[in-house]
């Protein structure tokens, strides 16, 4: 109930007594409805400010040299190498839509003809089981894709603006796909360290008989190599 004007208490100090002509009553004049229970006025809610978030699964963002591996011949990429990370929104207390706006990954070594080499960033959602040694690519639903150029560097990073909306309760999967570089003698090793990771990173390399994305940690252990905890982050808002 909304009151406009000035009121003078009538009999028994009942504020709902309308004998005073100076009182204008809008809404119910039923004294069983106190003022603090008046019907609310419809209004457009004020949108909350977007909350920025960067998701990462490695303890350290430092790039260690001679720590990564790829499917290659004499340190020259001979076949496609794809690197995957899966980010579960609930792990980051995200319960609404996550708006991706950037993907960044580290580079241990990149040498391409003309100073760059091509690659592709693919984003999707993943509905398969998590935490296993392999991923099931049939459980990936594509969201978006962006071609990129990796500049020649040692210990650098590649940061790419890319947009996608990830539904609440989903797991976002990021793929960095580096194509066969044998024809141009391109060399690429993704940036990593062995400082620890909260979730595994996976590699797919059909030329080396890795026909399903397989954890790099398990491959490293089987071949007595350092564990490559790949530095790959996703930024956005929710």
Summarised one tens digit per residue, pLDDT across range 169-179 is 999 999 999 99
pLDDT at 75: 64
Q: Has residue 38 got a pLDDT over 90?
A: no
pLDDT at 184: 87
Phi, psi of 170 (to 5 degrees): -95, 170
Do residues 30 and 89 share a domain?
Answer: no
**Prediction pTM value:** 0.80
- What is the rounded average pLDDT of the residues 87-95? 97
The label of the residue with tokens 């039923």 reads 30
Do residues 20 and 59 share a domain?
Answer: no
Round to whole Å and give the CA distance between 51 and 169: 17
Domain around 24: 2-37
Number of domains in the chain: 2
Longest dimension (CA), the chain: 100
Do residues 59 and 23 share a domain?
Answer: no
Q: Do 156 and 106 form a contact (C-beta atoms < 8 A)?
A: yes
Residue 46 domain-assigned (yes or no): no
Q: What is the average pLDDT value for the chain, to the nearest integer? A: 85
Do residues 60 and 98 share a domain?
Answer: yes
Strand partners, 193: 229
Q: Has residue 10 got a pLDDT over 50?
A: no
| CA separation, residue 22 to residues 8, 11, 17, 19, 33 (Å) | 8, 16, 11, 9, 21
Residue 42 domain-assigned (yes or no): no
């Amino acid at each position: 109930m909304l009151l406009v004007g000035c009121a003078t208490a009538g009999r028994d100090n009942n504020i709902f007594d309308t004998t005073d002509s100076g009182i204008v009553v809008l809404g119910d004049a039923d004294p069983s409805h106190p003022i603090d229970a008046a019907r609310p006025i419809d209004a457009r809610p004020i949108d909350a400010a977007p909350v920025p978030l960067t998701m990462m699964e490695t303890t350290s963002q430092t790039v260690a040299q001679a720590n990564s591996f790829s499917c290659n011949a004499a340190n020259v990429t001979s076949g496609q190498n794809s690197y995957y990370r899966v980010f579960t929104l609930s792990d980051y207390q995200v319960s609404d839509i996550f708006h991706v706006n950037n993907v960044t990954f580290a580079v241990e070594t990149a040498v391409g003809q003309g100073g760059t080499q091509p690659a592709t960033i693919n984003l999707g959602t993943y509905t398969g089981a998590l935490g296993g040694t392999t991923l099931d690519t049939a459980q990936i639903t594509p969201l978006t894709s962006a071609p990129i150029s990796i500049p020649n560097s040692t210990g650098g990073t590649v940061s790419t603006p890319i947009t996608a909306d990830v539904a609440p309760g989903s797991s976002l999967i990021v793929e960095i796909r580096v194509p066969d570089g044998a024809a141009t003698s391109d060399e690429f090793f993704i940036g990593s360290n062995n400082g620890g990771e909260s979730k595994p990173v996976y590699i797919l390399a059909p030329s080396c008989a890795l026909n399903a994305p397989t954890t790099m940690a398990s491959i490293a252990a089987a071949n007595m190599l350092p564990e490559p905890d790949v530095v790959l982050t996703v930024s956005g808002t929710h």
